[in-house]
Structure 1
């Protein structure tokens, strides 16, 4: 790209990496961001040694004059007027991940999905590093450091593991040598216009693969399983079921993680030796095992990497136990589906903290899931009123369904137990039959202003044996810069309790 003129939109982590990489390669760079120079004082200072032209506080269409290519940061919507005009003019769009795939000298494993990406990416890196099959293992992309910053140190004896989001994939045309699609469920519908558009973005990870490349697909998810028809090279799978119909991949049989490769099946390790909480994390381990095996890693190294993996901060992280109450941080559970997965990890009563900035995702499945096992729901943040409306609406429909199902058999009535909370009350006329199949109890619902008030309320409501779980089901951008900052705030508040 020497001698070309590049426009970089967005001065966050990805944009900064692109600017430095391009400027080091003698590309003329214009950087633009809607934030002011005052707000961007730190990144501007970081770029002070480079000859960068900044246009801040606006995206005028004149930015396109003389531009050969545009690099779009993941947080920048593709429907802004500047990018609509760029497409009309035929100016190509790219991003940091596209640059990595075009220029890296080594083999690349790319991982995407609606959930589990970060845990699977880091665990895959851990497993491959344990094998010492490659000289160096580089892990980055949407997690950790952008790989562009380390590319000058990489050789063809290395391997890179990349986490890729739909925001990156939707404009990418290159694919990794090994592409993992973990699962697809509703997510980011505040960014993608509909579910079909979101699925298409995820599918882009497969479209540039060649005949000798490998796709590793989540077989228990209907959408990702159907992607097998799009695979250009070899198709692997991973599943919780032993009868999944793929030739190569990982699965569960007799409570053990198994690997089937080239017609030979081997046991990796018993499921009980996986130290991570929750069935969803067991699925992440199976996925990472399949991805590592696809990269040529042997069973003993896969086992060693799994056993040496302690999990990822802010993902089902046990912070502490105070007076018999466990406090768990799963701030990265930013969709209702991830909240459900977190809830399923616990048999003890749960006080659930929900809230943040809503992504316009459906809440009705979560509303049904929390009929049992959840002691209290504490709402916080911008989305709290909307979540309350959604849950109460879903509960009302569920109440009618339960009433129709159990009313004649047990004699059921509904009682109002105060603002924001309804409870199904059973008047048993069926003796022991009622006890064997009780009507679920609707959970108490409390709305608070923010994280501090939510933690205080949870502390007040909790009893020994309870679990207080932050699994917000929303993004953090209403009150925090990102989900990690939200998790650190929660952790600090909890530690102060003890």
Structure 2
């Protein structure tokens, strides 16, 4: 039943790769392995691309930093985009006009993927869920690749020659925009909240991008969704695969998951294995599994949802209840995701630098069990902040607003808190947060914005916060 994975023969063809980051270089390597001539381009200057340019030159690729010159499309047979390159820029539109197929790096790699895949998307929680699924399957004795949008690009895994029982792949909306043959046997949609509205014409377009994860599924496949999220419910209307919802409707849905405090009751299904599975062979219902989540280090309702989604996916892929329990209890929190950063003078510091949209801020604040001093701000992504006001009210007593969006955040959310202060940079923000925090409080960095006004990445921002927070205390 494997999806047809066709692509023009690459040997002797000319492929253009847009974006010289890790994914773009991996795509260039894969194209060269298959015998293609490769031209690589990036909007960044040559000075900012010294190492990538050297790598691509050593591969024998033609390079064009500092923009996307149209002449690169002359005689091209294929355009491959890195996730960070919008498919709507004039260069991509011109490729379409010239009849040059436009695909993403993940779509290229998928054509060479032999392992069945679990794809995970959503506005928040993707990385945690991918890591949980991978650990649950490994605990059941499965060999697993975990990567995609985070960590190792799928093209790198293909190039490694490694084999896996399952590929657990994080897939962003940007990757789904250029996904034509991506077909996860198990597709997980965690949530859809406003994000990346600087790149999409509106929320509906962003939600439609997320829904593309289901478009190639068959009746033999499984969709795992957030039953409380109406956008997720809408995304699976009319799809071919079976649906399992965490926070299911028990009156109409026989499979899925029920969350009640620290109790998780799973009613899973199990997929029939490839390659013998007919396309119309529906997943079979399995025995219920009840889990106690009280020992899990993952705090907050949102992480309970991530656990439920991961468990449903892992059990469908052949995981075991014992392996699921072991992975939940032994999970180590990923960096920059409500990560404990240390304690100073009775004040606990939490690094949630990966929280780059308002919904992530809401989830992080709700996960705190103490009064909060909240640091927000960065480069805006087109999202509105006013929906955070009722979340902050009564939980956050001081808001520290920094970065390009600092003035907007202070104006919109200031009335919801006791005190609002402006900060020029992270050092200033941490110093002001510390001066307003009292013993028993939490200082939470959850920016709700991208990092690119002050930092190259959310990770660099989070690391700076940790350094500044704990330099007077102990981790």
Confirm or deny that 1:118 pairs with 2:127: yes
Name the SS for the 2:150 alignment partner: coil
CA distance in 2, matches of 1:253, 1:462: 33
Confirm or deny that 1:75 pairs with 2:50: no
Alpha-carbon displacement from aligned partner over 1:418-438 (angstroms, at most 9, x marks no partner): xxxxxxxxxxxxxxxxxxxxx
| TM superposition shift of 1:153 | 4.5
| TM superposition shift of 1:156 | 6.5
Structure 2 segments unaligned to the other structure (5+ residues): 1-9, 269-283
CA distance in 1, matches of 2:138, 2:108: 24
Cα root mean square deviation, aligned: 1.7
Q: Which residue of 2 aligns with 1:60?
A: 69
Name the SS for the 1:273 alignment partner: coil
Q: Which residue of 1 aligns with 2:238?
A: 230
1:473 aligns with one of 431, 448, 461? 448
Q: Which residue of 1 aligns with 2:156?
A: 149
| TM superposition shift of 1:49 | 2.6
The 8 Å contact of residues 258 and 265 in structure 1, kept in 2 or not, is answered as: no
Name the SS for the 2:464 alignment partner: helix
2:463 aligns with one of 476, 488, 493? 488
CA distance in 1, matches of 2:258, 2:318: 17
Q: Which residue of 1 aligns with 2:420?
A: 445
Q: Which residue of 2 aligns with 1:36?
A: 45
Which shifted more, 243-252 or 49-58? Answer: 243-252
TM norm structure 1: 0.87
The 8 Å contact of residues 256 and 267 in structure 1, kept in 2 or not, is answered as: no
Task: Please give the residue correspondences for 1:249-398 in structure 2 after superposition, counting only pairs within 5 Å.
Answer: 249-253=256-260, 255-261=262-268, 262-392=284-414, 395=415
CA distance in 2, matches of 1:255, 1:287: 15
Alpha-carbon displacement from aligned partner over 1:332-355 (angstroms, at most 9, x marks no partner): 111111111111112311000000
TM norm structure 2: 0.91
Q: Which residue of 1 aligns with 2:223?
A: 215
What is the number of residues matched between the two proteins?
A: 448
The 8 Å contact of residues 21 and 82 in structure 2, kept in 1 or not, is answered as: yes
| TM superposition shift of 1:495 | 2.1
Alpha-carbon displacement from aligned partner over 1:145-197 (angstroms, at most 9, x marks no partner): 11211214556752110000001101211221111111111110000111111
| TM superposition shift of 1:78 | 2.2
CA distance in 2, matches of 1:178, 1:345: 28
The 8 Å contact of residues 268 and 302 in structure 1, kept in 2 or not, is answered as: no
Radius of gyration: which is bigger?
1
The 8 Å contact of residues 360 and 448 in structure 2, kept in 1 or not, is answered as: yes
Q: Which residue of 2 aligns with 1:206?
A: 214
Which shifted more, 465-474 or 304-313? Answer: 304-313
Name the SS for the 1:111 alignment partner: strand
1:169 aligns with one of 149, 168, 176? 176
CA distance in 1, matches of 2:109, 2:187: 15
Change (3 A) 1:82 1:463: same
CA distance in 1, matches of 2:342, 2:251: 39
Change (3 A) 1:327 1:43: same
The 8 Å contact of residues 374 and 445 in structure 2, kept in 1 or not, is answered as: yes
The 8 Å contact of residues 375 and 400 in structure 2, kept in 1 or not, is answered as: yes
CA distance in 1, matches of 2:162, 2:27: 20
Q: Which residue of 2 aligns with 1:97?
A: 106
Which shifted more, 255-264 or 446-455? Answer: 255-264
Which shifted more, 91-100 or 261-270? Answer: 261-270
Alpha-carbon displacement from aligned partner over 1:310-332 (angstroms, at most 9, x marks no partner): 12111011111111100000111
CA distance in 2, matches of 1:325, 1:16: 43
Q: Which residue of 2 aligns with 1:20?
A: 29
Change (3 A) 1:346 1:69: same
Alpha-carbon displacement from aligned partner over 1:370-401 (angstroms, at most 9, x marks no partner): 12121100011111012223335xx4xxxxxx
Runs of 4+ more than 6 Å apart:
none
Change (3 A) 1:444 1:253: closer
2:117 aligns with one of 108, 130, 137? 108
CA distance in 2, matches of 1:205, 1:383: 32
